[in-house]
Structure 1
Amino acid sequence: MKRIFAFALLVTAFACSSDSDKPKSRPDEPTYTLIFLDKTRSVNVDKSFVKQKYEQAINDIIEENIRQKGDKLAVYFIHENTAKARALNLTARTEMEDVSASSATDREAAETEFTLALSREKATIRQRVLQQLVAQNAGSSNQETDIWASLPVIEKANETGATVKVYYLSDMVESVKGSDRRDFQVRPPKSTTEAEAWAQADAGKLKRYTLGSPDITMILPFEPNASVKENNPAVTQYWQTLFTELGVGTVTED
């Protein structure tokens, strides 16, 4: 009898200790969203198709990536001085209160309040990003498109330890003067084979940047009936290959 009683006490003690020793659920890892907006002559957001596509893309990006306190979103302009062209730097502040010890009713009320507050914050962020989308660049920096210069920006975001997601709202036509640079306005790749060879050669010069494994999305401004001359598949193949060579997570084209 004594042995049965001792065993029962042991089982009870184990159950209590296992509950208290369970690791508490950690909040999701923050997301660092980088949006690069093309502010060169080759992308015209005044065109209804481009404006509608990019507005929808921004809505989707914010909806998907701003989910909790600490999520970051930065907007950079793509032009001749991309690395120094940060237009916005925002951090989500809406926080879900700890409801682990609350009743079901209180938890539901807290979740509803959090959802409403987060929706209001996302609306404010969306408005500020859309303002940057339509901002005009009439300066001389609109003469060149330096997409390479986005790489140190991605590297810096990677250093934060957050999950990094990168979006290029651009035609991806790199255009920088210089013997060691690419100018797709003057000389675009003629084939996917040439594009891949160029990307592999350029990756050797750009591997000094530690990008981690961000997800990269290229959101192009071209209509479905755009010609090959306008929407050159070899250009996007160049970036697909280059980003893959630099070790990024996924590269998608929209």
Structure 2
Amino acid sequence: MKTIFFSCVLLLTLAGCSSDSGKESGSNAPKTDPVYTLIFLDKSVSVNPNKAFVAQKYQMAVNEIIEQNIKNKGDKLEVYFIHENTSKARALSVTARSEMDDVSSANATDREAAQTSFDLSLGREKAAIRQRVLQQLATPNASASNKETDIWASLPVIAKANESGATVKVYYLSDMVESVYSAGRRDFHKTPPKDNAQADAWAKGDAGKLKQYTIGSPDIVMILPFAPDASVKQNNPAVTQYWQTLFQELGAGNVEEQ
């Protein structure tokens, strides 16, 4: 009797393990989070996207951003203009709709057909998104808002994206020269940080004022409009050092300059 009892227990245990294993490797396996991409296009007077070098660099950047981040249904991309009223300057919002069919029980031929159909649909979507983003990149800003560059105002936009629960990725196509005339704000056109030490000190002080914005830990890329032979006056390394430190103080993940 004891032998029969232990045999039954063993069989039940093995059945339970097999069931758990099937759940993990089957259609109930966890899916990757959608990607929420934010592109901030500098529409202040200090950045001219129609210059040949800038146009080529930014067009390539847009292509790469879309290729990397628009891969599945639910992936979202928004474009904001950077100028005097950045937080209210959303120019584009799109969400990928292409969805891969469930092929968990399909044969190899049907799986391949479903993958091809998905790839074609997603490719059309990415091409349409790319065209719309490039249109926004080329759109001039002749209004009075082009006189100021409020990059701080991008932080509440990032914080709102963080609330979605998606993986947030942020791209600034900008010279990153903050220039706001109000009291208590930075104007790097008039008074840029003189070196990295001052940039770090300013950034850490300013981070204290901006802690209210819970931006999460997004990856942030600053794509600068400067040629490799740009002077220090044009491409001041202390300015980008300020942003590196500020974003890191606010909890950002990887912060990269291109």
Q: Residue 250 of structure 2 is aligned with which of 230, 246, 249? A: 246
The sequence identity of aligned pairs, in percent, is 66
Q: Equivalent residues in 2 for 1:9-28 (5 A)?
A: 10=12, 13-14=15-16, 17-22=19-24, 24-28=28-32
What is the CA–CA distance in structure 1 between the aligned matches of 2:89 and 2:216, rounded to whole Å?
22
Query: Could you tell me how far 1:13 is from its partner in structure 2?
Result: 3.7
- 1:133 partner letter: L
In structure 2, distance between residues paired with 1:16 and 1:204? 53
TM-score normalised by the chain length of structure 2: 0.93
Letter of the structure 2 residue corresponding to residue 17 of structure 1: S
Structure 1: 5+ residue runs without aligned partners? none
Quick one: which amino acid aligns to residue 34 of structure 1?
Answer: L
Alignment of 1:1-254 (within 5 A): 3=4, 10=12, 13-14=15-16, 17-22=19-24, 24-254=28-258
Q: For 1:10 and 1:158, how far apart are their aligned partners in 2?
A: 45
Residue type at the aligned position of 2:19: S
- 2:100–2:114 CA contact under 8 A, matched in 1: yes
User: What SS does the aligned partner of 1:181 have?
Assistant: coil
**Residues 168 and 219 of structure 2 are in contact (CA less than 8 Å); yes or no, is this contact kept in structure 1?**
yes
SS at match of 2:153: helix
Give the distance between the partners of 1:182 and 1:235, measured in 2 at CA. 11
SS at match of 2:80: strand
Residue 22 of structure 1 aligns with an amino acid whose one-letter code is E
Helix, strand or coil: the match of 2:221?
A: strand
Amino acid at match of 2:164: T
SS in 1 for 2:94: strand
User: 1:3 offset after TM fit, Å?
Assistant: 4.6
Residue type of the alignment partner of 1:28: T
Question: What is the Cα-based RMSD across aligned positions, in Å?
Answer: 1.9
Structure 1 residues 65-103: Cα deviation after superposition (integer angstroms, max 9, x where no partner): 000000000000000000000000100000011111111
- Residues 141-186 of structure 1, C-alpha deviation per residue, up to 9 Å, x if partnerless? 0000000000000000000000000000000000001220000011
Report the 3-state secondary structure (helix = DSSP H, G, I; strand = E; otherwise coil) of the residue aligned with 1:188.
Answer: coil
Q: How far apart, in 1, do the equivalents of 2:143 and 2:212 lie?
A: 31
- Check 1:87–1:15 CA distance in 2 against 1; reply closer, same or farther (3 A cut): same
TM-score when normalising by structure 1: 0.95
Deviation at 1:15, TM superposition (A): 6.3
What's the CA shift string for 1:114-154, capped at 9, x where partnerless?
A: 11110110000000000000000000000000000000000
Q: How many residues align?
A: 254
Amino acid at match of 1:130: L
Local SS of the residue matching 1:76: strand
AA at the equivalent of 2:117: E
Cα offset, 1:17, TM superposition: 2.8
User: Where does the alignment leave 5 or more consecutive residues of structure 2 unmatched?
Assistant: none
CA distance in 2, matches of 1:130, 1:83: 20
